[in-house]
Structure 1
Amino acid sequence: MTRTPRATARPTISEGRAVARTKTLPGSADGTDTVRKTVLPGGLRVITESVPTVRSVTFGIWAHVGSRDERPSLNGATHYLEHLLFKGTRRRTALDISAAVDAVGGEMNAFTAKEFTCYYARVLDTDLPLAIDVVCDMLTGSVIDPAEVDAERGVILEEIAMTEDDPGDSVHDLFAHTMLGDTPLGRPVLGTVDTVNALTRDRITRFYRKHYDPTHLVVAAAGNIDHETVVEQVRAAFDRAGALSGGNGGEPVGPRSGTRSIRSAGRVEVLDRSTEQAHVVLGMPGVSRHDERRWPLGVLSAALGGGMSSRLFQEIREKRGLAYSTYSYTSGFADCGLFGVYAGCRPSQVPDVLKICREELDRVVQHGLTDEEVRRAIGQLSGSTVLGLEDTGALMHRIGKSELCWGEQMSVDDMLARIAAVTPDDIRTVARDVLGSRPSLSAIGPLTDRQASHLHEAVA
C-alpha cells in the first residue's frame, strides 16, 4: 500500500540563535514516519532515521562533489581529497582520528563516486557523540599537510595499480570511457598516474574550500538516535570550526539536473592485457536517475542478468558453461545513464558469449519478457530492496543519497509500489527505447586479431 507523504514543520531549539527548519518525512524502512530533516542556518542539512530497536548508529556526511566536477587537470582530486581528510585536523593527528574510533570498536570509512563523496562511521549508540565530533572535525578542520599530500600520493598510485590489476573491475571504467569519452563522467574516479602525480597541495586545498562549505553537505544518521540531539551535536561541531557561515546565500545546493546525449553507438575499445580471462561489457545509453523509466529498466535488468534464474546466466553459464560470471546492470547519473552486460570468459569463448548477449538483447526488444519473468524479476527486485536495508549503514546511505541526489525521500512502500506497478508493456517500451539502440563494447584481455574482429561484429 502506498503511504501518503506528509510533512510537519516544527522549529528546533533556538536559544537566541537563528532558527533551524525541521520537518518529518515519509521514508522509513519499517513503514513509520521516523525520517526527519533539519536545515541549519548556513545551509547544512541534517537528516536522520530513528530505529529504536538497534544498538548501533551509522553517521555520515555526504558532499555534493564527485569526479565529474573535476577539470581534466584535476582528475582524481576528489578521491585524493577523500584520503587527505583522514590525515589530520587542527585538533587531531591522523593517528588520533583512527584511534578514537578503534577504541570504541567502531568502523570508519569513505568512498568517492562520480557525483558525490561520503564519509561515515558506524558505532554503538552510546558513542554517537564521538562519531559526530570526529567526522565533522575531519570535514571542517582538515589541515591538508604538505607532507601527508606527498605520502598519500604513493598510496593512491598503489590503489590505481591495484584496480588495473583487476580487469573485472577496471573494464567498467573502460566502458564508461567508451560510452562517454574524455569527459568528466568518462574519466576514472581515481584519476591516472599522470594526473595524480601532477596534483599539488595548493590545487587540492582550493578544491576543498570550494566544494566543502555547508551548502554542499548533507549530514545523515540512522539507528538508535534522537533527531534533535543529533542536530544540536552537529551544530555544535560545525560552530566550533566556524563552518556554518555557508556560501551560496546559505541555501543548500539543489540536486543535479539536465540532459546529456551519449553519441557512442558502435564504438569498440580494447585493452590488451596478459590475463587468463577476457572481460567484456556490451552496452548502450540507459536512463538518468530522474527518468521514470528507471523502474521498468531495473525490472528488465533483473530478468535479463540479475540472478541465477536470469536469461543471461541460464544461457551463458548454466546451459553452455561459457563463463563463470555474467550479469547486467544499470548506472543512473543526473543527466544520463548506462546499461551494460558483463561477462568474464576465456578469450576463445568471447565470440560465442557476445553472440548470445546480442541475441538475448534483440529477443527482449522484439518480444519483451514473459509474464512469469516479469513477476519473478519484480519479486527479486522488491526483496533485495528491503533486505538491503537491514542495517544502519544501508539506511544512512539511502536517506543521505536521496537527499543529495533527489532532494526528497521516497518511502520504502512507495518504492515497492513503483516496482510492483511495472507491466510487461512497460518492459517492452523501455526495451525498445534502451536496448533497441546500437551497442558499444569494451574489452580487456589477451585477444588475438581474429578474436578482436568479432568485437566489431558484435556491435554492427
Structure 2
Amino acid sequence: MALAGGVLGRLASTAVAAGKPASRRLLATAAAAAPGARLAATPPSAAVAAAAAAAAPKKKAGIAGAIRSALGEAASPLPPGYAVDEEFLHETPTHVTTLSNGLRVATERHPVGAATVGVWVDAGSRFETEDTNGAAHFLEHLVFKGTAAMSQRSLETTVENMGANFNAYTSREQTAYFGRAVTAHVPALTSILADILLNSEMSPASVERERDVIIQEYAEVNKLPEEELFDNLHATAFQGTPLAQTILGSEDCIRSLQRPDLRAYVKRHYQPHRMVLVGAGDVDHDTFVTQADKLFGGMRSDPAAESAAQLVAARPCFLTGSDMRVRDDHAPDAHFAIAFESCGWAHPDAVAFMVLESLLGGWDRYATTGDVVSSRLANGLHATPSAKRVGPFNTSYADTGLFGLYAVAAPHDLDDVVSVMMGELVRFYTSVDERALAAAKMALKTRMMAAADGSTAAAEETARQLLVFGRKVPLAEWVARIDAVDAAAVKRLVGKYVWDREVAVSALGNVSGLPDLTWIRRRTYSTLY
C-alpha cells in the first residue's frame, strides 16, 4: 500500500503507483487488506512490515499477530493465500505535491485530450453558525459573479469561447469548484479558477441579486419530497448539533446574510491546508504544480487557523432517537426514512456499511426487474401491495453517519411495509446468506469502478479521498477491504449499530397510518415481527 501525500519541500511530490510491479507483493495480509484498519493515512512502514511478515516464515505469534502488532487489535487478515486480482493493480498513479502553504496539488493523467480542474474545500454547512447557516452555499453562487480583473459577463464569455464549463456544489462538509476543458485551455481554466476563488468581488449588488436567486432555489428544493425528507432527517437525527443545519440555510438566514458574514467565513475556512487542487485527464503533473504555485502559492496560511478535524472535535455530532413528520392527508403517497447512527469516513466499519447497503439492495415496483430481484428485501416488498419503492442510504461524515432505508408507499398498510423493511435489516444479526453476500460485494465493486469513469468523476473522487483519508486509496485496496467483509462481519455490524439501537424517523405526505416511533423502535431487537 502506497501513500499519496507528504511534504518534501515546496514543490516535492510523491505518487501512488498502484500499478508498479513492487505493489503486487502486497497481499491480503498487508495493511491494505485488513478490514479492521482505518482508511485514513497509514505510515508506509506499517504496510511494509505487514507485507514482510506475510512473506517471511511464520513465527510463533503468527501472521495475525504480526498484523495486530502493526495495526492494532482491531485488525483482522483475509484468508491465507488471498491475493488481489492483478487487473486491479494496473491503476493510473495519483501524484500529490504539497506547497509550502499547505495546499495539496494532485493529478491523475489520462491522455484523453481534455481535463477537469477543480478546488475542493474542507468546509460546508457543518462549519457554519446558526446565524450564518447557508453561507457556504451562498459563496458557491457568488464566486462566479465577477472578480477585480474580470466582470461576470467577461468571465462567461471567456469560458464559452474556450468551450469549457464550470460547476460547483456544496455539501455539509465540503465545497467544490471545478471546470472541464480541452488540453490546450487547461492553463487558462486553472487561472480563472484561481481568480474567482482568490479575488471574487462579492459586491453588495451581487449579494442582493444572488439572495433572490437562492430564495427561489430554496422554494424549489422544498417541493422535492426526497430533499425535504432528508433535510428533516438530519434535523431530527442530529438535533442540537451542526449536522442538523441544512445546506441552503433557513430562509431567515438567507435573507440576513451580508457581505461581511461571507468574507468572515472565507477568511476562517478557505485556508490552504483545508483545500485540494486536483487535475484529472490530460494534465502534466510538474507543469500543473508549477502553475499552481504561481497562482495559489501566495495564499497565506494562518498559523492560528483550525483544521476541519479540530472544528469537528469541538462540536461533535451524534444521533438522538427522534421522529419528525410533516403530514398531508391529501398527498397520494407516504415518504419516510428510518435511520441508525453509523460511523465516519475513516472508521474501520465504513467499508462493511458499504457492503451492507449493497446487500440490502434497492427495489422499485414499476421497474422491469420489480418481481425478479434476488434480494429478500425486494421479494418481501413485492408481496406487500402498498409498497412502491425502497432503497438503502449510507451517508458518512467525519465523525458519524446515517444508515437506513428510505421508502415510498401508498398510505394504507404502512405497518406491513415497515415490518418487511425492519425485519430484513435486523435479520442480518443472526443470518447472512453467503451467496447473496458474494453477489452484493461483486455489485459494489462494479459500481465503484463504474463511478470513476470520466475525468470529472476521477477528480472528485481523488479530492474527496485526500480530504477525508489524507491519501488516495488504491483500487486494489478497496477490493481487498470489500473482500474482507464476511458474514461474521455483517452480523457484528448489525449487532453493533442496528440491534436494539435508537432510530431517527423522518416522514412526510400521507403518513397518518405510519406506525409510531416506539413501534418502530421495538422492531430493532426482534426478528419475530
Partner of 1:14: none
Q: CA deviation at 1:8?
A: 9.8
Once the two structures are TM-superposed, the CA of residue 348 in structure 1 deviates from its matched residue by: 1.9
Q: Which residue of 1 aligns with 2:389?
A: 325
Q: Structure 2 length as normaliser, TM-score?
A: 0.78
Give SS of 2:359's match: helix
Q: 2:351 aligns with which of 274, 295, 303?
A: 295
User: Could you say if the C-alpha distance between residues 102 and 324 of structure 1 is closer, same or farther in structure 2, counting changes exceeding 3 Å?
Assistant: farther
Distance 1:32 1:116 in 2: 26
Match of 2:463 among 400, 403, 408: 400
Measure the CA separation in 2 of the matches of 1:199 and 1:249: 25
Is 1:383 matched with 2:374? no
Within a 5 Å distance, the mapping from 1:46-445 to structure 2 comes to 46-52=105-111, 54-238=112-296, 243-248=298-303, 258=313, 260=316, 262-265=318-321, 267-273=322-328, 274-306=330-362, 308-316=373-381, 318-367=382-431, 369-436=432-499, 437-445=501-509
**Partners of 1:458 and 1:249 in 2: CA distance:** 47
**Number of the residue aligned with 1:45:** 104
Question: Counterpart amino acid of 1:315?
Answer: G
Deviation at 1:301?
A: 1.3
CA deviation string 1:162-193 (max 9, x = no partner): 11101122211111112101321011111011
Contact 1:26–1:410, Cα closer than 8 Å, also in 2? no
C-alpha distance after superposition, 1:192-236 (max 9, x if no partner) = 111111111111111122222322211011101100111112222
Q: Structure 1 residues 162, 418: closer, same or farther in 2, change over 3 A?
A: same
CA distance in 2, matches of 1:77, 1:40: 28
Deviation at 1:254, TM superposition (A): 6.5
Q: Secondary structure at the match of 2:296?
A: helix
Matches of 2:413 and 2:230, distance apart in 1: 20
Tell me how far 1:99 sits from its aligned partner. 2.5
CA distance in 2, matches of 1:136, 1:126: 18
The two structures have a TM-score, normalised by structure 1, of 0.90
Distance 2:424 2:453 in 1: 34
C-alpha contact 1:85 1:139 (8 A) present in aligned 2: yes
Give me the whole-angstrom Cα distance separating, in 1, the residues matched to 2:272 and 2:92: 26
CA distance in 2, matches of 1:269, 1:253: 30
Whether 1:23 and 2:6 are equivalent positions in the alignment is no
* Mapped partners of 1:138, 1:409: distance in 2: 27
Determine if contact 1:112/1:118 at 8 Å carries over to the other structure.
Answer: yes
Matched-pair contact (CA < 8 Å) for 1:255–1:407? no
C-alpha distance in 2 between matches for 1:36 and 1:7: 7
**Structure 1: gaps (5+ residues):** 12-17
Q: What is the distance in 2 between the residues matched to 1:85 and 1:351?
A: 48
Find the aligned partners of 2:240 and 2:311 in 1 and give their Cα distance: 20
Shift of 1:116: 1.0
Change in CA separation of 1:19 and 1:293 when aligned onto 2, cut-off 3 Å:
closer
Offset of 1:320 from its aligned partner?
3.0
Measure the CA separation in 2 of the matches of 1:108 and 1:363.
Answer: 46
2:120 match: secondary structure: strand
- Distance in 1, matches of 2:257 and 2:449, equals 42
The secondary structure found in structure 1 opposite 2:430 is helix
What's the CA shift for 1:408? 1.2
Q: Partners of 1:332 and 1:46 in 2: how far apart?
A: 25
| Partner Cα distance (1:21, 1:371) in 2 | 47
- Displacement after TM superposition at 1:9 (Å): 8.1
- What do the CA deviations read for 1:117-151 (whole angstroms, capped 9, x no partner)? 01000111221112101111111111101001011
1:34 aligns with 2:93: yes
Q: What residue ranges of structure 2 are gaps of 5+ in the alignment?
A: 20-87, 364-372, 523-529
